[in-house]
Amino acid sequence: MRKSLSRRTVLRGVGTAIALPLLDAMSPTRLLSAASPKSDTPLRMAFFYVPNGAHMPDWKPKEAGFKFDLPPTLNVIAKHKEKFNVLSGLTLDGARAHGDGGGDHARSVAAFLTGAHPRKTNGADIQNGISVDQATAQYVGDQTRFASLELGLEASAQAGNCDSGYSCAYASNMSWRGPTNPMAKETNPGTLFDRLFAGSTVKETRQAKTAREKYRKSVLDFALEDAKQLHASLPAVDKRKLDEYLYSIRDVEKRLNGAERLRLNEDGVPDYPRPSGVPKELDKHSELMMDMITLAMQTDSSRIISFMFTNAGSNRSYKQIGVNEGHHELSHHGKSAHKQEQIAKINRYHIERFGYLLERLSGVYEGERTLLENSMIVYGSGISDGDRHNHDDLPILLAGSAGGRIKTGRHIEFKNGTPMCNLYVWMMQQMGAKAEKFGDSNGVLKLT
């Protein structure tokens, strides 16, 4: 029996530490059955938030169970229908006013992962609850390089008045380490790249970054010898996996740097610098962040991720899909057919971006399952209809089969008013957290 390769093996170079994907050599005796949820493959959880609710007639399927037709919004990810469940009836009571008046957008984000009702203030006395990602990270975060990753396409703010007297801290952060500690998002894909592939010391990392930029080198140049030695010792199937993984790193670097064509140095490694900056095009920005999420999961750098497409109440326009008006403005449609049509376009655009991630995760195999199958990923909003500002019967998807623990390809209708946190208790339990209650939960969601 050949010796098992450590799951924590990394390719090292000056200022570089490239974590590896799951290889067969890391568990040579593993017999993983696609029908069994028990394996040594880690489970991941992630949360994706979109603002301003959804055009529900184009979102919610009419039929329940396995035999349902995808409505127009979800039809853009029809090829992945068997890989996710649509969940209806889930509710965020904490996002409701409860006597506090306006501010549904800020409350919807603040409550989305906490289930709490945030204190209405635009001062320093913010008060929310711990979010499910951070609560889970307290149990399993020490098993990875990063206990959790907080990401998005718009920067976080920690002060200011963003929604009817609610602090911008509520409107722009969905992850909370504690009642007064929002976790700011990383929006720069180049900075995230550095975090994932940084060396063991700050000094080494800075020196390597300077050298890469000066000599237009890839992070792989610095770990080339390690990569060659490992490649030579691997079985054929792992050599292919390693090659595909390293190529994906090269591809991300190239696209982030804006290089138009691949230039190879004498060792056959792409010759371009570490990427930097935030792309101006939303398509490019979102795809690169989804690529980073895939790499983070694939290398087991983190098993817990949160992602905000935009901040609460975003009034961004989407001219690239023919929507010139602001998103928030359109969400107050007043039953205008034109505005509802435009909202539906934005919804389809967001779910299409999410579909890109599903495609990437579906292409990475870990034993008999894909990275997507070994995940449970929540996608949705803390508002249902943007015009009504209601927080019941939310637009929610749950992608991935949680390592074979649930069957996908269903529309599951729960009783309207079922706490969203009931889902979170179930997810925490699957991750190994000892949780019987979270937020405003009153039970555990039944998904089997």
In DSSP terms, 186 is beta-bridged to 151
Q: How far is the C-alpha of 118 from the C-alpha of 168, rounded, in Å?
A: 12
The helix (H) or strand (E) run that includes residue 111 is helix 104-112
Phi, psi (degrees; rounded to nearest 5) at 12: -110, 150
Q: Is 88 helix (H, G, I), strand (E, B) or coil?
A: strand
Which residues does 377 contact at the CB level (< 8 Å), separation at least 6?
44, 45, 46, 47, 48, 357, 397, 398, 399, 400
The class that CATH gives domain 40-187+283-448 is alpha beta
Q: Can you give the pLDDT of all 448 residues of the chain as single tens digits?
A: 355 788 778 887 766 788 888 888 886 554 344 344 455 689 999 999 999 999 999 999 999 999 999 999 999 999 999 999 999 999 999 999 999 999 999 999 999 999 999 999 999 999 999 999 999 999 999 999 999 999 999 999 888 999 999 999 999 999 999 999 999 999 999 889 888 887 655 555 565 566 555 445 677 777 878 888 888 889 888 898 888 888 888 888 888 776 333 344 444 444 434 345 688 899 999 999 999 999 999 999 999 999 999 999 999 999 999 999 999 999 999 999 999 999 999 999 999 999 999 999 999 999 889 999 999 999 999 999 999 999 999 999 999 999 999 999 999 999 999 999 999 999 999 999 989 999 999 999 999 7
Q: How far is the C-alpha of 105 from the C-alpha of 114, rounded, in Å?
A: 15
Q: What tokens does 56 get?
A: 């529900």
Residue 371: predicted pLDDT: 97
* Helix/strand number for the chain, H first, E second: 12, 15
Phi, psi (degrees; rounded to nearest 5) at 133: -65, -40
Q: What is the DSSP letter of 389?
A: T
Q: What is the residue-wise DSSP string for 400-445?
A: S-GGGTS--S-EEEEEEEEEHHHHHHHHHHHTT---S--TT--S--
Q: Where are the domains of the chain?
A: 40-187+283-448, 194-277
Cβ atoms within 10 Å, residue 282: 18
Residues 61-90 have pLDDT tens digits of 999 999 999 999 999 999 999 999 999 999
